[in-house]
Amino acid sequence: MKILAALDSSRDNSYILKEVARLAANTWADVTLLGIEPESVSAQQPPFTKMDRRTEDHPLVTSLRQGRSLFLKHFGDDGSPYTHTTVTSELVEVERGLWEDLQVCRGSIKRLNSRLRPGNPGRAILDEARHSPCDLIVVANSSAAGGPELTKYVKKVILDADTSVWMVAESKTPHRIVACLDHDNVSQPSLELINQMVTLYSADLEIAGLTSKDVLAGDVDHRMAEIVKYYAENQIKALVRLVEGSRLETFATQAAHGNLLALWMGKKSLLSRFFHPRAVDKLLGVAESSLLILR
Amino acid sequence: MIKALVSVYPDLASVIAMNYVCRLSRIFDMEIQPIFVKELEEANKAPAVGWVRQTWENSLLDVEQEAMNKLIEAEKTEYARLASLQVYSGNRQEAILDNLLQGGYDLFVEGSVSRFEKSELLRRTRSRLYQNLPCPAIIARNLIDFDKVLIVIGEMSPAAALLPRLTRLFAGASLRFDLLHCTIIEAGPLEPVHPQHGLFDEADDLLAAVGWQPENRIALQGTPKDLGSRIGEYSMVATTLPAHPERHGGLLELLSNTPSPVLFCRP
């Protein structure tokens, strides 16, 4: 698994790093921490692009380095898959009858990259995701601290990214993962990601099928049956329910409260209505919990 | 041994029903008979009449039957007493009623995906099938491992009507259960009712006679929604099947607000 976590230098990233580290610890993921500039850079702060790039005290650099330390701190000194410090002796036969006791410095088992992409944050995240393809992009829920102005870049990432996106909110642990589905295009990695979330939070799982005029489409019904069987085989209790499409916004807004709302997005998905400017602000405005967009 | 008839169809609800009843058979000695009733297509959906229509209907039936056989085979690997699918065509409710009566079944099981709306349970319980059921029925709404049952009694579900049917169905089994006496109100807070007025006396006598002992006795008063939310997730919620469901909207609304499978016993 490959995770791309966007760290906004103007915000407290500790909670996002904690959640990414927990997920990475469970999945042994390759992780890229991406330093991005805030959407509105204050007048006092010179943009990174205009500075001497060797400087070490630019807020963007400081924030990224702090982020890396915080991430690594989660794993401790021993047994971290991201540190490079293991030195061992290995006896290697260099030629017939001649052995050399080599001091071997092993690289980390998994990759941890720290990168900066100054400029428009939405574009920066998408460019990085294209440059180094990943399975999950992690961003902060903009309503947690910054207000509606950050919604723009979060929305851009959600709408334009080809991979799943996890908007992490600084809040209590979700009690339930509520996953909404209205199409049959569900990938195995997205099911496994839900598994990870269930494990990570010891949460219950509820799968909501979206109906149109009280009818659940045949292909969605079939897919939900497969999903239910999959989770049953994996010893994960998954409750199911149906929600009428016209009541989706109300349901999702309520479900987001205290839970992790997961939306399986399809090209013609009803769920895309959330990402109209008004609806997304409404949803994020009350989402003290996180939101997971699955692709 | 409990002889159960399970209604199946190639859909999510049937996956839940089949899997749930098979989980039940781990706890109770059961014989499970799946049944599929193919209802005749409406005339305007058929592409033609006569032989063409017959052929079209047969091919549809083959596809559905194959899907259900796969479902049953998947469960069969784990549960030995799962009979092969019985297939009928015609009116579903009539065919199931005939089978229940002639086959001497102890239990009817079907699936339903919860909408958390009273209308769904109201529609079912008012149907000819439910109003003429010769045995208890389970509406399986979720796959919940069988652990603990909630038995709901009260004015709308008298203990004297429910418990004899229930104890007969699960006779000889050791059942973990809580007993809930609920008083449904239209408005007001959810609050406990002190059971000093012998709320559980009749139930206790009936249960003691068969050696059953509830783990908890709970007496609550509240709106259906509050009560439903408070009940939480039990492996099964058992109650009486109202003879006039429209007069017991509160009970049905309460049941609609829980994700648990519901066991209805006719008084």
- Taking CA B250 as the corner, what is the angle to CA B236 and CA B23, rounded to the nearest 5 degrees? 10
Q: Which of B183, B139, B135 is closest to B157 using CA atoms?
A: B183
Chain A contact present for B21, CB below 8 A: no
For residue A288, the model assigns a pLDDT of: 61
Q: Which of A207, A219, A240, A246 to mutate to test the interface with B (most CBs of B within 10 A)?
A: A240
For residue B39, the model assigns a pLDDT of: 80
- Whether A228 sits inside 8 A of B16 (CB atoms) is yes
First to last CA, chain A: 14
Average pLDDT, chain A: 82
For residue A56, the model assigns a pLDDT of: 66
pLDDT in tens, B110-151: 999 988 888 888 999 999 999 999 999 999 999 888 889 999
Residue B27: pLDDT above 80? yes
Residue B200: pLDDT above 50? yes
Query: Per-residue pLDDT averaged across B67-88, rounded?
Result: 78
pLDDT in tens, B254-265: 999 899 999 999
Query: Within the 229-288 window of chain A, which residues sit less than 8 Å (CB to CB) from chain B?
Result: 229, 232, 237-244
Of B211 and B247, the one with more pLDDT: B211
For residue A275, the model assigns a pLDDT of: 60
Residue B43: pLDDT above 70? no
- 3-class DSSP state of A179: strand
- Whether A240 sits inside 8 A of B113 (CB atoms) is yes
Q: Which of A216-220, B16-20, B197-201 has the lowest mean pLDDT?
A: B197-201
Which among B11, B12, B19 is the nearest to A232, CB-wise? B19
CATH code at B1-111: 3.40.50.620
Cα–Cα distance between A286 and B3 in angstroms, integer? 50
The confidence band for B193, taking pLDDT boundaries of 50, 70 and 90, is confident
Per DSSP, A215 falls in state B
Longest dimension (CA), chain B: 71
The confidence band for A279, taking pLDDT boundaries of 50, 70 and 90, is low
Query: Within the 123-142 window of chain B, which residues sit less than 8 Å (CB to CB) from chain A?
Result: 141-142
Query: Per-residue pLDDT averaged across B178-203, rounded?
Result: 88
Residue A151: pLDDT above 70? no
Domains and CATH numbers, chain A: 1-81+109-169 (3.40.50.620), 171-295 (3.40.50.620)
Q: Do domains B1-111 and B143-267 have the same CATH topology?
A: yes
CATH code at B143-267: 3.40.50.620
Cα–Cα distance between B190 and B230 in angstroms, integer? 9
For residue B73, the distance in angstroms to the closest alpha carbon of chain A comes to 14
The ipTM (two decimal places) reads 0.81
For residue B105, the distance in angstroms to the closest alpha carbon of chain A comes to 27
Cα–Cα distance between B188 and B190 in angstroms, integer? 7
pLDDT in tens, A204-252: 899 999 888 888 888 889 889 888 888 888 888 899 999 988 888 788 8
Residue A77: pLDDT above 90? no
For residue B151, the model assigns a pLDDT of: 96
Domain boundaries, chain B: 1-111, 143-267
For residue B102, the distance in angstroms to the closest alpha carbon of chain A comes to 32
The confidence band for A135, taking pLDDT boundaries of 50, 70 and 90, is very high
The answer to whether A143 and A287 have CB atoms below 8 angstroms apart is: yes
Q: Residue B142: its chain A contacts at CB < 8 A?
A: 239-240
Cα–Cα distance between A99 and A149 in angstroms, integer? 64
Cα–Cα distance between B82 and B21 in angstroms, integer? 10
Cα–Cα distance between B5 and B96 in angstroms, integer? 9
- 3-class DSSP state of A289: coil
> What percent of chain B stands above pLDDT 90?
54
Q: What is the pTM of this model?
A: 0.82
Q: Residue A209: its chain B contacts at CB < 8 A?
A: 12, 113
Residue A53: pLDDT above 80? no
Which among B113, B141, B144 is the nearest to A237, CB-wise? B144
